[in-house]
Structure 1
Amino acid sequence: MIVAGFGFRAGAGAASLRAALDGAGRGLPPVTLIAAPDDKLALLAPLAEELGVPLAGIAPDALMAVATPTRSAASLAARGVGSLCEAVALAAAGPGASLIVSRFIAPDRMATCAIARGAFS
């Protein structure tokens, strides 16, 4: 399983989300799952539909249990995790998952994406 995990600001649009995914996923196999925090899941539905992949929401307690290599002060203040997109990708990919690509920031800085591989992929 190849998971694209997202973090993004409330004002992020489809172009920001797509740019984050394209930047993070460049040269990788296609993603098989898109994930975001539960409260932001609806904003990713059009992208998941476009790609024909399922969408997964991750609960806040699951995110806080994930250690991330990136440590963003903004992410720590807002969500209690070092990198929201990395935590989402790792949590969605399941136990033993690893990051393939750490946090990639969209050029407009409205969205971030990280890519994780599930342990059983």
Structure 2
Amino acid sequence: MEQARMRVIGMGLTSAATGAEVAAALAAAGRADLLAIPALRAGHPALRDVALPCRAIPEGAVAGIATPTQSARILARFGCGSMAEAVALVASRGRIITPRQSHGAVTWAVAEGPGPEEDATQ
């Protein structure tokens, strides 16, 4: 029997991101079981109305994660090429199925995998 696969939307957002931009990004990303965000954005007001379960991924968990797309600014600051892809990969423990996309002040990517271990990001 095949193990169920978890779809995770990884999202990066600036402090200027709006709830409308987050909603548009989630709609574009499609069905998901979990939203993964960088811990530094936990509590961001633009995420207030998100209906998905949300997992905050610590900064140290994304350093060194290989991502399909690269942002020189994100690589220099966090040690990964794409925050959206990196948090999706960490939370899903799988692979990217939709590379980083942008919508205003929000970036997102979708990964699929077995899902988080109970204490993987605690």
With the shorter chain as reference, the TM-score category is 0.7 to 0.9
Corresponding residue for residue 100 of structure 2: 103
Aligned length: 109
Corresponding residue for residue 37 of structure 1: 38
| 1:119 CA displacement | 3.6
Helix, strand or coil: the match of 2:88?
helix
Q: What 5-or-longer segments of structure 1 have no aligned partner?
A: none
Q: Counterparts of 2:99 and 2:29 in 1: how far apart (Å)?
A: 8
Q: Counterparts of 1:90 and 1:40 in 2: how far apart (Å)?
A: 17
Judge conservation of contact 2:80–2:86 (CA < 8 Å) in 1. yes
Larger radius of gyration: 2
Matched, 1:76 2:75: yes
Matched, 1:115 2:120: no
Corresponding residue for residue 91 of structure 1: 90
Corresponding residue for residue 55 of structure 2: 56
Q: Counterparts of 2:69 and 2:16 in 1: how far apart (Å)?
A: 23
Change (3 A) 1:47 1:99: farther
1:18 to 23, 41, 47: 23
TM-score (norm. length: structure 1): 0.81
| 1:65 CA displacement | 3.4
TM-score (norm. length: structure 2): 0.80
Matched, 1:6 2:6: no
Q: What 5-or-longer segments of structure 2 have no aligned partner?
A: 1-5, 116-122
Judge conservation of contact 1:3–1:115 (CA < 8 Å) in 2. yes
Aligned-pair RMSD on alpha carbons? 1.6
Query: What code does the residue aligned with 2:69 have?
Result: T
